[in-house]
Amino acid sequence: MHNSNLFYYFFKRELRSKYLGNITGISWVFIQPVITLLIYWFVFGVIFNNRIPEAENISFIVYLAIGFWPWQAFSESLLRSITAVSDNNDLIGKISIDFRIPVIASISASFFLNILGYIIVIIGLVLFAERFNYSSIPLIILPIAQLYCLAIALGLFLSAIQIFIRDTLQIVTTLITMWFFLTPIIYSESILPEKYKAIIQLNPVYTPISFIHRALITNQPLPWVNMLILSIVIVISLIFALKAFNKLAPSFEDFK
């Protein structure tokens, strides 16, 4: 089977098995992020009365939604990709297959559906949110593409590792929770002491999320230099992940 056909097969299978096969179907992809978003908004926006200093005229839930959906697309697609090889272990050793394809297909399916939800959010904000820079919407394609490529790099590496270390998914799930709170999604970096700002900017997800916030609502200068540096880092990470995956792939059959 040609690689493009194989990708399409795994892409459709991912949608059917993990989204279309449950009671609520594909709608759950949109319902779950909305529920999570409302919980964060209630806790941090209502109870703790969180505000964004550089966007005082913007509702906190708008700031939250703008950064939350790209994060959701990245984190969910990464987590789903970790077991993409082991979920197909019945194929290991039986047929010749490039196991990078189910990993990338898993990431693509999850990312695609979450970005569909994000498009709906963006349309809603354009229609109802005040002071929303709808003319800058095309600019966010770049940071979203960076998050997608970063998810592929990490997904390829971690899915290969998971064959040998079975609790990789549990470990990464815990780390993802910590990673979320180290990303300025439910708060603004402007409220942090200077020493912590330098640390949080080492977070590879910080730059694309910050770029999206600045482009759409805060009107701050866009971090083009940081975006370029991150792009270089992602390319290097992809090369490393591909080499690591190819190195470990011949041993998959011994540990399936």
Buried b (16+ CB within 10 A) or exposed e, 150-187: bbbbbbbbbbbbbbeeeebbeebeeeeeebbeebbbbb
**Is residue 143 scored above 60 in pLDDT?**
yes
Is pLDDT larger for residue 17 or for residue 125?
125
As a whole number, the mean pLDDT across the chain is 87
Q: For the segment 71-126, what is each residue's pLDDT rounded down to a tens digit?
A: 999 999 999 999 999 887 766 555 567 889 999 999 999 999 889 889 988 888 88
* Separation of alpha carbons 41 and 35, rounded Å: 10
Q: Which residue is listed with tokens 């529920």?
A: 35
Q: Which amino acid is at 235?
A: V
Buried b (16+ CB within 10 A) or exposed e, 188-223: bbeeeeeeeeeeeeeebbbbbbbbbbbbbbbeeebb
* Total of domains in the chain: 1
Q: What pTM was estimated for this model as a whole?
A: 0.90
Please give the residue range of the domain that contains residue 24. 3-255
Q: Are 181 and 206 in contact (CB under 8 A)?
A: no
